[in-house]
Each structure stands twice: as C-alpha cells, then as structure tokens.
Amino acid sequence: MKKKPVTGMKDVLPEEGVIRNYVTALAGETYSRYGFMSIETPCVEHIENLTSKQGGENEKLIFKILKRGGKLDLSEVKEEQDLVEEGLRYDLTLPLSRYYSNNAQNLPSPFKAFQMGSVFRAERPQKGRFRQFTQCDIDILGDPTYLAEVELITATTTLLGRLDFKGFKVRINDRRILSALAEYAGVSEEKRGLLFIILDKLDKIGPDALKEELLSSDFDASGVDKIMEIFGGGFLSDDPLHKLQDILKDHLAEGCIENLETIMKLVAQVKNADFEVVFDPVLVRGMGYYTGTIFEIEMPQFGSSVAGGGRYDEMIGRFTGTPTPAVGFSIGFERIITILLEEHFKVPEKGVSTAILLEKGLDGEKMAAAMKEAADLRAAGSRVLLVWANKNKKFQKEQLTKAGYDEFREYYREELKH
C-alpha cells in the first residue's frame, strides 16, 4: 500500500483547509452581490463533448473513463471509441455550455452563473499546477455587450481585493485583433494557431527571438516583416490600441477597438481594488473556443497568470443550434491558495476560538457542565473544540494555538479551572 497521493494530486492539511474554505465562502458571497447564481455540473462528461475541438491543448490531457461492466467487451474493441464513452472534465466552461443548453428554459436571460468544482488534466505537475484542482468560474450567458465583460472583471478584481491582493494587472485583448493581424500578415487559417502561440512568447523571449522563431516556423518573410514592424521596434509603446487600429483597420471587425476601449475605461472608473488595466496585443489565451475579448490577471507574487477568461460566443450554439453570446472569467483557485500560504495568510476570526481540555475520568456532572459551556459559547458564535487533555498539555496547547485556538478552558476531576 502507498501512503502518498497520486502524482499531481495532493492531501489538504487543516491549515490549508481553513484558507480554502474561507476563500470559497468569500467567493460565493462576493459573486452573489453581483447577481451570480450558484450551479453545479458533474465531474464526468460525454467524451464526444470533451473532444469537440473546443478545448485547445487540454483535449490532449483528458482522463478517459473505460466502459464499465457489461458494456466493455474486449473482443469487440477495434478503436478507442469502443473502449471510452466518458471522461473527467478538464475545465468548467464546456460543462456549463452543455448545462445551459439543457436547462435554458428554466433559467433567466441573461444568466449569470457561479461554479466551483474539481477539474482534471493529465499534465506534468509543477508549482500551482496539479492534475486535480479546483476552478472557480463566473460566466454570463445571453449578453453580447461590453456590460458582461465589465461585470466579470469588476467582480473578480473585487474578490481579489477582499483577499488583500494589491498592485496586480488585468491584461486585455481581443481574438479578433489577433485574427486581423494574421490576415494583415498574409498568414493562412491553418497556420494562425501557431502564429498566436509564438506571439504569446514575446514578453519572455523578446523581438529578436520572436522573429527568428517565426522564420524558422516557415512563415513568409514578407509577413514576418509586417509583424516585426509592429512588435519589433517599440512602435506600440505609446497608445498601442489606436496605432493597431490605424494599421489593421481594413481587417478589423467593426467596433472591436471601441468595445475594448469602453471596457477598459469603465473598469478603471468603477474598480474598488488596487490594480491596473492594460491592453496587451499579444495576449492569446490557449483555449480554442474564444471568439472575442480575452483577459488575464497577472500578479507580481506569481510567475504566470492567476486568472483568465474571455468571450466564447460560438460554443453553446454547437449544442443548441442557436447562437448564444457567452463570456466567462476563471480564477486559478490553486494558485491563489499557493500565494496565500506562502504569505502566511491568516483567516480573519469572527470571534474567540476556545479549546476546552477535559481530564480523563471526569464524572458525569462535570462532563455535562463542560459540554453545556461549549454549547453556550457555540450559540454565541464562537468556535469551540472539546478534547481530552494530553499528559503533555504544553505541547498540546502549542499545537492547538497553531490550529487557531486562542483561549483555553480546563476541566479537572477535582475542580474547575479557567
């Protein structure tokens, strides 16, 4: 028997569990103030949904579930689909789309959904990245306007502000700008995905390495020159949004730049946390289902984004046959928890936490008195632990203090001590 959990999954110790419960409750409270309604979807999804070419690279990371019992006849297995009919969800967005298409007649429009739950990806674990992890999503379905993006960004940044995060950055772009850039550079539809992946590296590798990688990936030299005129010489260092608009105007979707500008201005005007909103022309987001606005939150405490999302107006229509605008924002719950643990975050106490130590062998009267005191304290809103006293009470109290107990009561056989 093995004691350690499966690689990429972890046991949660009480100290972390307290923080996770606090963040979960704070998320629910914050998002409900913005009108988001809590929903749940199953961890298991139909394999044809998970492999519908909408999840980008995540479709390579699906935990697939074998058919069970009488359904699995190995003598008839010829292809993978003969073995597999379901899989574990790799995110919450695709299950939400299926959920909405199945229940739309019973939901308000627009529908503001809040969802938390475990998702699963068979990838290489690293800091803040696991094979089983919790996602925390808010989505607005049925609103095609900028109001949806503003509400999502404002609600998410409000939650982070309530967790005492400061000085972070909301980076924003639009997939339609990226498509216009590809068209301007003469990049074929087949190679646009690769172009976007390489562009996303600009901040890390710099313009010279970017040009070299584009050329080595067999992009046309004249098209690469057009791209480098934009990204290679500090051209976008001042007013990048309008400079791109001037260059790409013949290729841009109508209203795209104005929409981004409106979102950024409104978020900056109504924000109630310490952060900056910036346009990032090479922000890509990896999911294949994004169709418009995309955004990420970057924190100085973490080497990569801690939240991300965007508009995915075509996904729900693939279930229903009816176009439905949709946009969502997901907080990297595990990354937030990692930062809070590293910063020794303490959950605000609402009252005194009391540990009542009971000497073994108490008579019924004293035991009843101890339990009555615990009941009264709990009724008054305190957290109370009833526990037998150890021989080494000093060490026991040290451990309980680490667990958040700041007051001790002791019941002895001979007398009552406080």
Spatial distance between the Cα atoms of 264 and 245, rounded to a whole number of angstroms: 16
What's the pLDDT score for residue 413?
78
Domain end call among 290, 312, 342: 342
Is 7 part of a structural domain of the chain?
no
Global pTM value = 0.87
Listed range (118-127, 178-187, 272-281, 366-375) with the worst mean pLDDT:
118-127
Q: Which CA distances in Å does 252 have to 197, 200, 246, 247, 283?
A: 20, 20, 10, 10, 17
Q: Does 182 share its domain with 210?
A: yes
Question: Percentage of the chain with pLDDT > 90?
Answer: 66
Give residue-wise pLDDT tens across range 60-87: 889 998 877 656 666 666 666 668 889 9
Question: Percentage of the chain with pLDDT > 70?
Answer: 94
Query: Does the pLDDT value for residue 324 go beyond 50?
Result: yes
Give residue-wise pLDDT tens across range 290-311: 999 999 999 987 777 899 999 9
What's the pLDDT score for residue 348?
85
Q: Does 97 share its domain with 241?
A: yes
Q: Does 338 share its domain with 357?
A: no
Q: Which residue has the tokens 């990420």?
A: 296
Spatial distance between the Cα atoms of 217 and 298, rounded to a whole number of angstroms: 29
**Both tokens assigned to 85:** 């009919």
Q: Does 274 share its domain with 371?
A: no
Split at pLDDT 50, 70, 90, the class of 277 is very high
Q: Does 61 share its domain with 178?
A: yes
What's the pLDDT score for residue 140?
97
Q: Does 368 share its domain with 279?
A: no
Sign for the pseudo-dihedral over CA of 412, 415, 416, 418: negative
CATH of the domain at 217: 3.30.930.10
Give residue-wise pLDDT tens across range 3-53: 999 888 999 998 899 999 999 999 999 999 999 999 999 999 999 999 887
Q: Which residue segment(s) compose the domain that 109 sits in?
A: 14-342
Q: Does 250 share its domain with 128?
A: yes
Spatial distance between the Cα atoms of 300 and 240, rounded to a whole number of angstroms: 23
Is 389 part of a structural domain of the chain?
yes
What's the pLDDT score for residue 404?
82
Query: Does the pLDDT value for residue 418 go beyond 50?
Result: no
What is the number of domains present in the chain?
A: 2
Is 47 part of a structural domain of the chain?
yes
Q: Which CA distances in Å does 57 have to 108, 208, 252, 255?
A: 33, 27, 27, 30
Q: Is the peptide bond before 125 cis (omega within 30 degrees of 0)?
A: no
